[in-house]
């Protein structure tokens, strides 16, 4: 028996895919710097793994690995055909800390996370646990903050005439 | 005690309502009520899951200091599974059939299996899985360091039975409801529909049309797709 509900992944999974595609758009067009609530400055870039969602059940998913997949003709074609990103490996930086993780857009699950190196002043396992715990929380808050920023733009009444149109031009370009 | 992990997969969960404060003994008591119980000597196939701590994998003790995870509260649960290895069953069945000189009937196979379970299971050691989570009380958030469905389900059940509130797994809806949107935007979130990218859709339609005519492409088709 489980008490967890996961209907949001089924009904709103597309929003996670739009979020990931928007991160790519923002990274390419504005450099990937974001100011999150509380004045938190973070940088986001897409790394060496992209998985494009199929547009329907009978279409094929496309995976691009290694090198710079965002620069490939296959990636541009997928965008041009209106495919959203389902998964991507992200590099996230805040100050001197850097994380990498694969974001599964439909569930917002983070896979293969690598935390920043332990702080130099960590001398014991208790110190390391405290440092890593703070880094796990920071990564979660950054992803939440970015998603919140995306939603505030995406759910605006004039989104289709502003942000969506810009992104559509980028996707078709 | 080793430090908490620094890599791997993580699933976020949220809860609404009130749970015991991890700084209070009541929190430890709630965990102790669903402590791990060993099945080391069990004579039947079974699964046992319950709370332990990073300091004590037996589930015998729960101290507030054992849950110290820096910014969060370090939860750990243990899942033991006891299962008769199928190879053993096959070996014994083959031996019985060889000595009888004919195949065993379905009833005989069942009886042989039951007999072997009684004899061998007390000697079988269970597999052990330890799963960690970090709970951030003020944020009503818990990060589970396992992504498998079975671990998620066990965790959700343990949490509910211990603290009396269900967990909501993070997803684009649940996370969106917790990023500080105003009520009107939350309303829009719940009713959001996918964006249909006009130019991208057009490009996609052309590409699909080109593919469907790709059996015998003509210059006209290519010109249409290029357009």
A130 lies in some domain: yes
CB contact under 8 A, B176 and A55: no
Beta pairing, strands B72-82 & B68-69: antiparallel
Q: Could you report the predicted ipTM of this complex, rounded to two decimals?
A: 0.91
In this prediction, residue B134 carries a pLDDT of 97
Which residues does chain A have within 8 Å of residue B70's beta carbon, measured at their own beta carbons?
Answer: 129-134
d(CA B95, CA B91): 6
Residue A119 lies in a domain: yes
* Beta-carbon separation of A105 and B172 below 8 A: yes
pLDDT at B220 over 80: no
Instruction: Identify the pLDDT of residue B50.
Output: 95
The mean predicted confidence, pLDDT, of chain B is: 86
Show pLDDT as tens, one digit a residue, over chain A (173 residues).
444 456 777 888 899 999 999 999 999 999 999 999 889 999 999 999 999 988 777 777 889 999 899 989 999 988 888 888 999 999 999 999 999 999 999 999 999 999 999 998 988 999 999 999 999 999 999 999 999 999 999 999 999 888 888 999 899 87
The verdict on residue A172 lying in a domain is no
Predicted local distance difference test score (pLDDT) of residue B215: 44
Domain membership of residue A46 (yes or no) is yes
Global pTM reads 0.85
Q: What is the pLDDT of residue B124?
A: 85
- Domain assignment of residue A157, yes or no: yes
B212 or A35, higher pLDDT: A35
Encode pLDDT of B154-211 as tens digits. 999 999 999 999 999 999 999 999 999 999 999 999 999 998 876 555 555 555 566 5
Q: How far apart are CA B104 and CA B121, in angstroms?
A: 22
3-state helix, strand, coil in chain B (%, to 5): 45, 20, 35
- The residue among B210 and B51 whose pLDDT is bigger is B51
pLDDT on residue B27? 94
The answer to whether the CB of B143 falls within 8 A of the CB of B12 is yes
**Quick one: which H or E segment has residue A64?**
strand A62-65
Q: Does A91 touch chain B (CB under 8 A)?
A: no
Q: A76 — contact with chain B (CB < 8 Å)?
A: no
Q: Quick check: is A28 in a domain?
A: yes
**What's the confidence (pLDDT) of residue A44?**
97
Q: How many CB atoms lie within 10 A of CB A27?
A: 19
**Partner residue facing B166 (CB), from A4, A11, A128:** A4
Q: How confident is the model at residue B118, as a pLDDT?
A: 84
Per-residue pLDDT tens for B94-139?
Answer: 998 999 888 889 999 999 888 888 888 888 889 999 999 999 999 9
- Phi, psi for residue A93 in degrees, rounded to 5: -130, 140
Kind plus residue range of the DSSP H or E element containing B194 = none
- Show residues of chain B in contact with A12, CB under 8 Å: 171-173, 176, 189, 192
What's the pLDDT at B84? 84
Q: Check if A20 contacts B (Cβ < 8 Å).
A: no
Q: For the purposes of burial, counting CB atoms within 10 Å of the CB of B210, is it exposed (0-12), middle (13-18) or buried (19 or more)?
A: middle
Measured torsion, CA atoms of residues B156, B160, B166, B168, in degrees rounded to the nearest 10: -20
Out of B7, B69, B174, whose CB is closest to A115? B7
Tell whether the model's pLDDT for residue B227 goes beyond 90. no
Q: Considering the domain boundaries, does residue A3 fall inside one?
A: no
- Cβ neighbour number for residue B79 with a 10 Å cutoff: 21
List the structure tokens of A100. 């990498």
Whether residue B4 and residue A160 make contact (CB cut-off 8 A), yes or no, is: no
pLDDT score at A109: 95
Size of interface A-B (CB pairs under 8 A): 194
A168–B153: do the CB atoms touch at under 8 Å? no
Cβ of residue A105 closer than 8 Å to a chain B Cβ: yes
Side-chain half-sphere CA neighbours of A122 within 13 A: 18
CB of A12 closer than 8 Å to CB of B192: yes
A32 touches chain B (CB under 8 A): no
- For residue A93, the enclosing domain spans 13-161
| pLDDT for residue A56 | 73
Extract the tokens encoding A65.
């690995």
Which among A132, A133, A87, A134 is positioned nearest to A110, based on CA atoms?
Answer: A87
Residue of A nearest to B180 (CA): A148
pLDDT the model gives residue B46: 81
Mean pLDDT of B40-50: 81
CB-based contacts of A41: which residues, under 8 Å, 6+ apart? A33, A34, A35, A94, A95
Q: What is the CA radius of gyration of chain B?
A: 28
Q: Which residues contact A123 (CB under 8 A, 6 or more apart)?
A: none
Element (H, E) at B127: strand B127-136
Quickly state the pLDDT bin for B54 (edges 50, 70, 90).
very high
CA distance A42 to A30: 13
Asked whether the beta carbons of B152 and B146 are under 8 A apart, the reply is yes
Hey, which residues does A34 pair with through a beta bridge? A42
A52: in domain: yes
- Tokens read off for B37: 């119980």
Structural domains in chain A (count): 1
């Amino acid at each position: 028996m489980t008490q967890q509900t996961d209907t949001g992944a089924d009904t709103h999974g597309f929003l996670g895919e739009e979020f990931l595609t928007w991160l790519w758009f923002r990274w390419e067009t504005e450099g990937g710097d974001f100011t999150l609530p509380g004045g938190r400055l973070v940088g986001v870039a897409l790394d060496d793994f992209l998985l494009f969602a199929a547009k329907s059940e009978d279409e094929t998913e496309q995976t691009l690995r290694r090198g710079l997949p965002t620069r490939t003709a296959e990636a541009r074609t997928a965008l041009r055909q209106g495919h959203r990103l389902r998964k991507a490996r992200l590099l996230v930086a805040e100050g001197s800390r850097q994380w990498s993780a694969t974001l599964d857009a439909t569930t917002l699950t983070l896979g293969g996370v690598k935390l920043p190196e332990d702080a130099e002043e960590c001398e014991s396992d208790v110190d390391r646990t405290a440092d890593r715990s703070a880094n796990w929380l920071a990564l979660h808050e950054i992803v939440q903050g970015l998603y919140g920023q995306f939603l505030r733009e995406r759910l605006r009444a004039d989104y289709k005439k502003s942000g969506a149109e810009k992104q559509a031009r980028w996707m078709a370009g | 005690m080793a430090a908490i992990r620094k890599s791997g997969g993580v699933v976020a969960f949220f809860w609404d309502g009130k749970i015991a404060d991890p700084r209070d003994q009541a929190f430890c008591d709630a965990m102790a009520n669903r402590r791990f119980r060993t099945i080391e000597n069990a004579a039947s196939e079974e699964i046992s899951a319950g709370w332990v701590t990073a300091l004590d994998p037996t589930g015998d003790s729960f101290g507030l200091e054992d849950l110290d995870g820096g910014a969060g509260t370090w939860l750990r649960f243990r899942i033991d599974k006891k299962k008769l290895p199928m190879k053993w069953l096959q070996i014994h069945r083959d031996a019985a059939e060889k000595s009888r000189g004919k195949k065993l009937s379905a009833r005989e196979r069942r009886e042989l299996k039951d007999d072997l379970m009684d004899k061998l299971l007390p000697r079988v050691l269970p597999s052990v899985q330890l799963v960690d989570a970090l709970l951030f009380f003020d944020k009503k958030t818990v990060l589970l360091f396992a992504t498998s469905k079975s671990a998620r389900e066990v965790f959700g059940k343990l949490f509910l039975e211990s603290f009396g509130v269900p967990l909501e797994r993070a997803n684009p809806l649940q996370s969106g409801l917790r990023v500080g949107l105003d009520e009107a935007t939350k309303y829009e979130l719940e009713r959001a529909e996918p964006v249909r990218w006009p130019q991208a859709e057009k490009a996609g339609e052309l590409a699909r049309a080109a593919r469907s005519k790709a059996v015998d492409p003509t210059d006209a088709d290519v010109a249409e797709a290029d357009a």
